[in-house]
């Protein structure tokens, strides 16, 4: 990127599962000339990939592809267990749905925002923790509400004025 003649500092981080480097470079050189930072994010990403490939290191892109590949199977399995829970147990409330999914070995974690409103669900399965929208587009709180029947199903989503009971606590829907 031709940033050699500038102030710079680098930090090796080991705070995550993977060791990585943070590099900070001054955009003003020693002559007072500013570096053109147009598309700096993309250009630095490409430069980092080239360096990693030349040094035989794992690139961010490789990690992301591997993670996506591994998560695809997990997402498919969570969705399958969701469909099975809906069909097998026919839950009448969100609490019933959570219990049905738990029976099928998927932990459902309600996401409650600062206004004490139910925003959605996270799904924990085999060490993976995914938002409903990451699992499948039909796994949003609205779509799950439409799939379960009774007062806590589609009716609540229509009037949106009633709280729902989640783990013994009444929360509103967003």
Q: What is the pTM of this model?
A: 0.60
**76 and 46, same domain (yes or no):** no
**16 and 90, same domain (yes or no):** no
Per the DSSP assignment, residues forming a β-bridge with 21 are 12
Q: Within a 10 A sphere around the Cβ of 84, how many other Cβ atoms?
A: 15
Please give the pLDDT value at position 161. Answer: 52
Within a domain: 162: yes
**30 and 100, same domain (yes or no):** no
DSSP-based three-state secondary structure for 163: coil
**80 and 159, same domain (yes or no):** yes
Please give the pLDDT value at position 151. Answer: 45
**94 and 33, same domain (yes or no):** no
**37 and 77, same domain (yes or no):** no
Please give the pLDDT value at position 153. Answer: 45
Please give the pLDDT value at position 166. Answer: 80
Please give the pLDDT value at position 97. Answer: 95
Range of the domain at 75: 70-173
Own/partner contacts of 151-160, CB < 8 Å, gap of 24 or more, are: 151/92, 151/93, 152/92, 152/93, 152/94, 153/92, 153/93
Please give the pLDDT value at position 122. Answer: 97
As averages over each run of 10 residues, the pLDDT of the chain (174 residues) reads 91 86 92 93 91 89 85 94 95 93 96 90 95 93 83 51 72 76
The total domain count for the chain is: 2
């Amino acid at each position: 990127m031709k940033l050699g003649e500038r102030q710079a500092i680098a930090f090796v981080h080991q705070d995550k599962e993977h060791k990585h480097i943070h590099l900070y470079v001054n955009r003003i050189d020693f002559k007072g000339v500013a570096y053109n930072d147009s598309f700096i994010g993309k250009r630095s990403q490409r430069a980092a990939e080239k360096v990693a490939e030349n040094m035989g290191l794992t690139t961010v892109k490789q990690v992301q592809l591997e993670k996506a590949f591994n998560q695809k199977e997990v997402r498919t399995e969570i969705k399958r267990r969701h469909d099975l829970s809906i069909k097998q147990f026919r839950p009448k409330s969100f609490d019933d749905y959570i219990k049905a999914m738990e029976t099928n070995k998927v932990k459902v974690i309600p996401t409650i925002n600062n206004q004490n409103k139910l925003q959605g669900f996270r799904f924990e399965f085999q060490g993976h923790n995914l938002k409903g929208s990451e699992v499948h587009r039909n796994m949003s709180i609205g779509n799950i509400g439409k799939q379960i029947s009774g007062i806590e199903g589609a009716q609540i989503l229509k009037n949106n004025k009633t709280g729902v009971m989640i783990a013994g606590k009444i929360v509103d829907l967003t």
